[in-house]
Amino acid sequence: MTTRSAARASRFRLTADLPATLPAPVSGAPTHSAAHATAPSEPTHCLEPAVLIERLKQWAALAGDAFSPRTIEALDGDGRLFRAWCLERSLAWLPADPATVVAFMEDVGATRRPATISRYLANISTLHKAAGAPSPTEHPDVKLARKAHARKKGTDQRQAAPLGEREIHVIVRSIEKAAKRAGGASLIELRDRALVLVMSDTLCRASEVGRLRWADIEPATDGSGTLVVRFTKGNYSNGRATYLSPQTMQALEAWRKGLVAWLELQRSNAVQAGNGDRLARLPLPGEGEFIFWNLSTTPRNRLSRQAVWAIIKAQGNRALGTDAYSAHSTRVGTACDIVRSGAGLLEAVVAGGWKTTTQVLRYTRRHSATRGAVARLRSRKVKDIQLLAR
């Protein structure tokens, strides 16, 4: 394995501490009840075969660049959780027996939602296939156990509260009123206003908005613009093009000018203090730079996913009086607005960069119910009754 491949593979902590050669696991798996028995944390009879380990390490070297950081984080974290659970019970985790996976689901499923269990199973399957081993999650017993858990826990997921046009307007007005009271907008207020508007227009995920660059914005003659979201979760090799309203473009320009003025002031102060070398090397916001910066650390650091979530939650709480909003709320809200405007589901899917209509249908199900067949039927009946009453 080359140095570069090793660096990519190191992103998986799961494979980092696996030895090069290990004895094969014993054949046969315990029953579900026996799977819960505890044992030493590293029993020699359930360690991974050397061939599977080498295949998994080779795959990890390739996957480090093929998947997004969040996908890698989920694969690695879920894999380490399953491995630790198996080793504590003297069970082989690679390859794992279907009975082991069922016992794992029964144990951890008591405190996990069906969506989390589904992710665990998907990642266990991916790691087995990556190592060249058959996936235990395809066994009928595992599928039945998954269905049983879903029936017991329920499959409905909590949905982020939507931030639609009305809510976004309230948040922006709140930021602008605070700036007016203070005699001018602070740099953080300029950034947060632009951030909220960009996320509403583009339906960007928190992990995507921190990677947006100035170079990907193209202004139009009417004051609007377009933005190419290049680091996206969907299948868009060249990124997906999104619309920016004139209001959003104005907010972005105000943020850029404020950032330039602030950096120039910081440079001037640093030079006068005899410590200007570091800031002198810091480029002003240009085409190659990220749009949104974390102002509490080194200015060049882009906003992290966690920072985006914190900003949306704080602004929603300040303007709307609730902490029910998250970075996903802008996706939900704009998707609902698109469908409510009369546009089709396909247009909402393209705008949000989804692969299917599943998520959009889930986000808009309540609105769709008010426009569905029963709603139209009852509406006509009410009108008929009103006509007869006349």
Helix/strand/coil for 218: strand
Least confident of 60-74, 142-156, 334-348: 60-74
Domains of the chain listed by start with CATH number: 3-153 (1.10.150.130), 165-327 (1.10.443.10)
The tens digit of pLDDT for each residue in 279-309 reads 555 555 655 588 998 887 555 578 888 999 9
Question: How confident is residue 10, by pLDDT bands cut at 50, 70 and 90?
Answer: low
Confidence check: pLDDT of 196 > 90: yes
Least confident of 94-98, 167-171, 273-277: 273-277
260 versus 32: which is more confidently predicted? 260
CA–CA dist 199, 207 (Å, integer): 11
How is residue 21 annotated by DSSP? -
CA–CA dist 119, 275 (Å, integer): 50
355 versus 155: which is more confidently predicted? 355
Cβ 24 vs Cβ 53: under 8 Å = no
The tens digit of pLDDT for each residue in 207-227 reads 899 889 998 999 999 999 999
CA–CA dist 343, 336 (Å, integer): 10
Q: What are the angstrom distances between the C-alpha of 245 and each of 46, 87, 338?
A: 59, 55, 15
Mean pLDDT of 80-108: 92
Token output for 189: 């207020």
Q: What are the angstrom distances between the C-alpha of 28 and each of 96, 97, 100, 323, 388?
A: 10, 8, 10, 50, 76
Furthest-apart CA atoms within the chain: distance in Å: 88
CA–CA dist 240, 236 (Å, integer): 6
Cβ 360 vs Cβ 348: under 8 Å = yes
Token output for 146: 């998954």
Token output for 33: 């009840």
Question: Phi-psi region for residue 67, left (φ > 0), alpha (ψ -120 to 50) or beta?
Answer: beta
Question: Phi-psi region for residue 306, left (φ > 0), alpha (ψ -120 to 50) or beta?
Answer: alpha
CA–CA dist 205, 221 (Å, integer): 28
Least confident of 9-13, 233-237, 262-266: 233-237
CA nearest neighbour of 193 among 242, 256, 149: 256
Residue 255 has a pLDDT of 93
CA–CA dist 21, 44 (Å, integer): 12
Question: Phi-psi region for residue 321, left (φ > 0), alpha (ψ -120 to 50) or beta?
Answer: left
Cβ 157 vs Cβ 115: under 8 Å = yes
